[in-house]
């Protein structure tokens, strides 16, 4: 049996929670997509890009 560690990262959108890959943040609704983390202008698991989502979160606009 392999000893695997759970990899958790701070939510890249709001920074409020720790998320596993593809887990959805309970604070801002961001789905933790590592491809979108690497490229903030990419669309993927989320309809918004990471850059758009950060702006929306700062402006208190609901995540799409």
Q: Is this model's pTM higher than 0.85 or not?
A: no
* Residue 24, burial from CB neighbour count under 10 angstroms (0-12, 13-18, 19+): middle
The two structure tokens encoding residue 21: 């890959």
**Residue 6: what pLDDT?**
67
Q: What is the pLDDT of residues 34-64, one digit of tens each?
A: 999 999 999 999 999 999 999 999 999 887 6
Residue with tokens 């409020």: 16
Q: What is the pLDDT of residues 1-42, one digit of tens each?
A: 555 566 788 999 999 999 999 999 999 999 999 999 999 999
Q: Taking Cα atoms as reference points, which of 29, 34, 47, 30 lies closest to residue 7?
A: 34
Could you please report the per-residue DSSP string of 36-50?
Answer: HHH-TT--SSSSS-H
**Residue 3: what pLDDT?**
56
Contact 23, 35 (CB under 8 A): no
């Amino acid at each position: 049996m392999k000893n695997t560690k759970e990899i958790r990262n701070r939510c890249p959108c709001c920074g409020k929670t720790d998320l596993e890959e593809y887990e959805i943040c309970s604070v801002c609704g961001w789905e933790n997509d590592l491809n979108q983390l690497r490229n903030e202008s990419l669309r993927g698991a989320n309809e918004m890009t990471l850059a758009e989502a950060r702006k929306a979160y700062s402006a208190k606009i609901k995540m799409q």
